Chains A and B, each alone.
Chain A
Amino acid sequence: MFRLEVRTSTPAWFNLALPLLAIAATLVLCSGLIALAGAGVFESYGVMFTASLGDSYAITETLVRAAPMIFTGLAVAVAFRAKFWNIGAEGQLLAGAVASCFVGAIPMPGPLAMLLMTIAGAAAGAAVALVPAALRVKFKVDDVVSSLLLNSVIYYALMALIEGPWKDSFSGYPISPPIEDSANFPVLIEGTRLHLGLIVALVAAPLIWFLIVRTTLGFRIRVTGENPEAARYGGIHVERVLISTALLSGALAGLAGVGEVGGVHFQVMSDISPGYGYSGIVVAMLARLNPLGVVPAAIFLAAVMTGAEAMSRATGVPAFLSDVIQGTALLAMLVALLFTAYRIRRVGVAR
């Protein structure tokens, strides 16, 4: 017989082992679905792998998708460290996309445009995240609910914009006008869609790690998240920390939107994000809220997304499998986290 026993410390190698364990469990669990859809499990996973990581072009496509999820993953990781439950990265991303699209459509020198787009997008994301944070600090409104519901508000505001003032008068398509060509982010490798945003994301991850681990703000974020009462007695302005965290988190999610506008779509449309904001939650959890872990976790999910489309074309398994894998990975990770607090023991031998 087995049972769970509380453990007092968590070995460091768990940080690596748990996500890998969760991913392995996910792939095993989802293979049942693939078989159910009438396809070969190894063949399907094989297609997924080759299509996402098999050749250099596939890798660049995966990285293009990983970039926004690095940002939203960082946004969620920072927020969750302070136990500010930001489920609103999706809305913050959209707000960042709209703001940067506004700025990008104004004629001005390219580098200046890119800088201003970045600032505007980050500011818009931060402004959106400020709402649930302020509601929580001032009125004790539950931040999970308010940040989640705000996603719909932002989404429909965006729809109103592209169906209304921004609507393309020629074609009648609900899309925004494109940004200026000079504002398009530089492509890193000729012939691919890999853009400057990825570099920014890869730089952001260690910077956020440094912020959390090595700065007084990071210290305050950690302490506030773990024990707000002790933080308050220790002279930390808990409300101020929550607001700062929300602004930072929202700005990061906003940057995800900036990258999509400046580097991938060059305009705003209704499906500019296939749920990158929600995927950010999965990314952050797989990374155990460690900003450095966000990068591989985002690349993994991006590979699943790119791979699932190819697999669907090749084997007929619906591309929705990508969403199922994400959801299963989140659940598997939550279960795996149990082992940070408990150990499994065999019992019945002692007596």
Chain B
Amino acid sequence: MPAPLIEMRGITKSFGAVKASEAVDLSVAPGEILGLLGENGAGKTTLMNVLFGAYAPDAGEILIQGRPARITSSADALAAGIGMVHQHFHLAPRLTVLENLLIGIPGKAGRIDRAGGLVRLAEISSQHGLTLDPNLPVSALSVGEQQRLEIVKALFRGARLLILDEPTAVLAPSEVDGLFSALRSMAAQGLGIIFISHKLNEVRALTHRCTVLRHGRVAGRVDDPANTTSAAMAQLMCGHEIVPPARGPSTPGADVLILDRISTSRHSGTALRDVSLVVRAGEILGIAGVSGNGQRALAEVISGVRAPDNGQMTIAGKQVVHFSPREVQALGLGRIPEDRMTTGLVTNLPLADSMVLPRIGTSAFSARGLLKPDAIRAFAEAQIKAYDIRCPGPMTRAGALSGGNLQKALLARELAFDPKVLIVSQPTRGLDIGAARFIHEKFLDMRAKGCGIIVIGEDLEELMVLCDRIAVMYEGRIAGTLDSADASVARLGLLMTGAEGKA
């Protein structure tokens, strides 16, 4: 085995009482792709932030090619050849791809070396298949392209070790393949890569070795991920076995959500064209499709934030007239958004506020314009307990919660009022398998209670496990609907590319 490119020894980092990392050892060799695994909150991001110089460790040392290194800022890290692609990108949206690459790179005599930049970009792009149009503004790039730019940016600055924090959480399955081949090509050139993901099949397909964290400590290492089962890795991560929930046969009842020939204008993203759907009580309908094919418009119409130009929607037998969030809520719609931080919660206010937000005007939480602070607090406390949401209490800033706990909080808030219909987007994005398992179980419980659930997702495996039927969206239309029993990745994939006209 070659000498390690970087080595972390005995890294400890606490936030107040929370030990986010405790005596962690980790090393990456040149040409090696290391998987970093662990439940939500296990300390993966914290550890990588220490390596990247964003946090100073309380104890421990970092060695680069055998020599102790002082990394106290991201500038130090970059100079030491460490690049990081964060969960949230750090790009200047109004500048072009090339300009973003050149930020902070001194040119000759204070001038920006555009020509040189273009040459380097072309080199890097062709080496690893990371093509980008240098003149497009970042705001015009898709999420996948922005990520590609972040990777190129790191390589541009001469990174020999690349850290990717959950890069696939934001990618469509088709984009994941492209990312993987780029990463493999970089590793083949001797770069070290640290890859964080909650999707164990990706980890098994890509990485050479894994380090597994649990509660901030190293719980174990996996030397041959390709030949280790996902179940074994999950066990290492959680400390116990994770059994996928069993979906019993459904006994669908009345139609609880009917979309009848809904069309929208091209407002933002793909418009809906003549979408008709039915969700019955006690069933889970999946909406599959490459993102950007109208899923967003569909979710907006159902959530009542956008009125369709044509067509009708019925919730629990009542026709929706105004298409306002309040109206659809009153008819019994619950909603778990794709983007927890922007359309779901208010990160700067106490968690309790976010938990009562959609129902603040109801008699449960207010009367004659006055809030009922005790009721609000009691509700939040009860939900925190019932869903085992890990946080110091209902008055914690919502933004301080981890992704899994935020998702539990949203789920708790919607399920507390027994919705008749639940619309959910990407329900387990960024969640560890234990948390995902918990969310799935809750959906199946709701299904058993007669709730109609509509799940918009990109992860076909997840949809096939969870859903009774799967509809595929393509260019704003429903390209076809399959019973889960008849669905396969291949058939769904065909529908998703619009190849199969009608199923």
**Chain A residues engaging chain B, CB cutoff 8 angstroms:** 1, 3, 5, 8-9, 214-220, 222-223, 226-227, 229-236, 345, 347-348, 350-351
Q: Of A3, A215, A234, A345, which one neighbours B370 at CB under 8 angstroms?
A: A215
Asked if residues B371 and A233 are in contact (CB atoms below 8 Å), the reply is: no
Q: Which residues of A contact B58 (CB under 8 A)?
A: 350
Pull 22 A–B residue pairs with CB atoms less than 8 Å apart, ordered by A.
A1-B72, A3-B72, A8-B15, A8-B399, A8-B400, A9-B400, A215-B371, A220-B360, A223-B349, A227-B346, A227-B348, A230-B345, A231-B357, A233-B337, A233-B343, A233-B358, A234-B358, A234-B360, A235-B361, A348-B56, A351-B62, A351-B68
Q: Which residues of B contact A227 (CB under 8 A)?
A: 342, 345-348
Q: How far is the CB of B106 from chain A (nearest CB, A)?
A: 23
Asked if residues B55 and A222 are in contact (CB atoms below 8 Å), the reply is: no
Supposing A3-B73, A229-B342 touch, asked if A8 and B397 sit within 8 A by C-beta, the answer is yes
Q: Which residues of B contact A226 (CB under 8 A)?
A: 346-349
- Bound form: Cα–Cα A194–B61 in Å: 66
Asked if residues B366 and A229 are in contact (CB atoms below 8 Å), the reply is: no
Asked if residues B325 and A235 are in contact (CB atoms below 8 Å), the reply is: yes
- Bound form: Cα–Cα A107–B347 in Å: 54
- Bound form: Cα–Cα A227–B360 in Å: 16
Closest to A220 in B: B360
Q: How far is the CB of A306 from chain B (nearest CB, A)?
A: 37
Asked if residues A216 and B72 are in contact (CB atoms below 8 Å), the reply is: no
For the complex, count residues of B whose C-beta is within 8 A of A: 44
Q: Which residues of A contact B61 (CB under 8 A)?
A: 351
Supposing A217-B369, A219-B371, A223-B349 touch, asked if A5 and B55 sit within 8 A by C-beta, the answer is yes
- Bound form: Cα–Cα A150–B115 in Å: 48
Let me know if B137 is at the binding interface, CB within 8 A.
no
- Bound form: Cα–Cα A9–B393 in Å: 12
Asked if residues A350 and B325 are in contact (CB atoms below 8 Å), the reply is: no
**What 1/0 flags go to B39-62 for Cβ under 8 Å of A?**
000000000000000011111111
Q: Which residues of A contact B366 (CB under 8 A)?
A: 216, 219
- Bound form: Cα–Cα A223–B56 in Å: 34
Closest to B342 in A: A229
Closest to B73 in A: A3
Q: How far is the CB of A161 from chain B (nearest CB, A)?
A: 38
- Bound form: Cα–Cα A69–B344 in Å: 37
Summed over the interface, the residue pairs from A and B with CB atoms below 8 Å come to a total of: 94
Asked if residues A232 and B360 are in contact (CB atoms below 8 Å), the reply is: no
**For residues 67 through 103 of chain B, which have their beta carbon under 8 Å from a beta carbon of chain A?**
68, 70, 72-73
Closest to A1 in B: B72
- Bound form: Cα–Cα A351–B62 in Å: 9
Q: How far is the CB of A82 from chain B (nearest CB, A)?
A: 13
Asked if residues B342 and A230 are in contact (CB atoms below 8 Å), the reply is: yes
Supposing A232-B325, A351-B70 touch, asked if A3 and B56 sit within 8 A by C-beta, the answer is yes
**For residues 339 through 379 of chain B, which have their beta carbon under 8 Å from a beta carbon of chain A?**
342-349, 353-354, 357-358, 360-361, 366, 369-371, 373
Q: How far is the CB of A237 from chain B (nearest CB, A)?
A: 8
Q: How far is the CB of A80 from chain B (nearest CB, A)?
A: 13
Q: Which residues of A contact B348 (CB under 8 A)?
A: 226-227
- Bound form: Cα–Cα A350–B53 in Å: 12
Asked if residues B325 and A216 are in contact (CB atoms below 8 Å), the reply is: no
Supposing A9-B397, A214-B370, A351-B61 touch, asked if A219 and B360 sit within 8 A by C-beta, the answer is yes
Asked if residues B73 and A216 are in contact (CB atoms below 8 Å), the reply is: no
Q: How far is the CB of B432 from chain A (nearest CB, A)?
A: 20
Q: Which residues of B contact A1 (CB under 8 A)?
A: 72
Let me know if B128 is at the binding interface, CB within 8 A.
no
- Bound form: Cα–Cα A202–B59 in Å: 53
Q: How far is the CB of B492 from chain A (nearest CB, A)?
A: 29
Asked if residues B397 and A215 are in contact (CB atoms below 8 Å), the reply is: no
Asked if residues B335 and A233 are in contact (CB atoms below 8 Å), the reply is: yes
Q: Of B73, B324, B343, which one neighbours A229 at CB under 8 angstroms?
A: B343
Let me know if B305 is at the binding interface, CB within 8 A.
yes
Asked if residues A235 and B371 are in contact (CB atoms below 8 Å), the reply is: no
Q: Of B57, B354, B369, B399, which one neighbours A350 at CB under 8 angstroms?
A: B57
Closest to B354 in A: A230
Asked if residues A9 and B396 are in contact (CB atoms below 8 Å), the reply is: yes
Let me know if B329 is at the binding interface, CB within 8 A.
yes
Can you add 20 more A-B contacts, CB < 8 Å, to A1-B72, A214-B370, A350-B58? A215-B369, A217-B369, A223-B346, A223-B353, A227-B346, A227-B347, A227-B348, A229-B343, A230-B342, A230-B346, A232-B325, A233-B335, A234-B325, A235-B324, A235-B358, A235-B361, A236-B357, A345-B56, A347-B72, A350-B60
